[in-house]
Homo-oligomer: A and B are copies of this chain.
Amino acid sequence: MAVAEPDDSARRRAPRVDAIRNREAIVEAAAEVLAEQGTAVDVREIARRSGVGMGTLYRHFPKKEDLVHTVLRQDFSRWAESARRTATDAEDPWAALTDFYEQALTGCARHRAMMENFALTWSVPDLDGIRQLRLVIEELCARAGAAGLLRPGVTTDDLLLLLLSLGHAVQITDDCRPQMWNRLLRISLDGLRADHREPLPTDAAPDDVARSLHG
């Protein structure tokens, strides 16, 4: 069967080589400009940089949003994966956490659009990309928690929001103080250590707060 269908494959393979190349060129160019300028870029700029016409771009991505989503999905995935690998490489659970943040924060320094949307994903958590990140963080959280290294009560959401928060700091300082965020990271991570036993405030509704206080 693998050798069969010579007609069919002949009919379909030929044109796609170029199309795929173009599609990739578009995505690559888009990733570049989205990282540089955020989602406000002119679609024409992307077309120009990919070396294709507007029509080609719109054939592959009928709406600007589609292209943006595609790029961000990819970049989020790569970002999460690279951070995950770094974390996995560490033997010590705490080092895993530390390395994860370092890798992730280094990786988001120059990606404006990604951070723009990272922010959005909080209120729209169903957006792809954040899921992988959550999974990685969940694991790190569990691992450090099991090892008794993590401050009690710290949740995956806390760690995710910390990433988001520091990610913003990274972007802001990347141009003029490229390593400054590292100091903030140390501080925050130290605040996450198990030797801090003071309970964290809940962010629940008033009723729940009362209950948690009196229960």
Contact = CB atoms under 8 A, between A and B. Distances in A.
Interface of A: 119, 122-123, 151, 154, 157-158, 161-162, 164-166, 168-169, 171-173, 175-184, 186-192, 196, 198, 200-204
A130 to B, nearest CB: 12
Contacts of A200: 182-183, 186-187
B164 A180 contact: no
B181 A187 contact: no
A201 B187 contact: no
A103 to B, nearest CB: 15
Contacts of A164: 168-169, 172
B203 A187 contact: no
Contacts of A182: 200-201, 203
Closest 3 CB pairs of A and B: A191-B191, A180-B203, A187-B191
Given A166-B165, A190-B191, A158 B175 contact: no
Contacts of A196: 187, 190
Contacts of A165: 165-166, 168-169, 184
A200 B184 CA distance: 9
Given A168-B119, A191-B187, A179 B161 contact: no
B168 A187 contact: no
Given A165-B166, A191-B186, A180 B157 contact: yes
10 contacts: A158-B187, A161-B172, A161-B181, A162-B184, A168-B169, A173-B203, A177-B203, A182-B203, A183-B202, A187-B191
A5 to B, nearest CB: 18
A183 to B, nearest CB: 4
B176 A161 contact: no
B183 A190 contact: no
A151 B196 CA distance: 15
Contacts of A180: 157-158, 161, 203
Nearest to A170: B165
A188 B186 contact: no
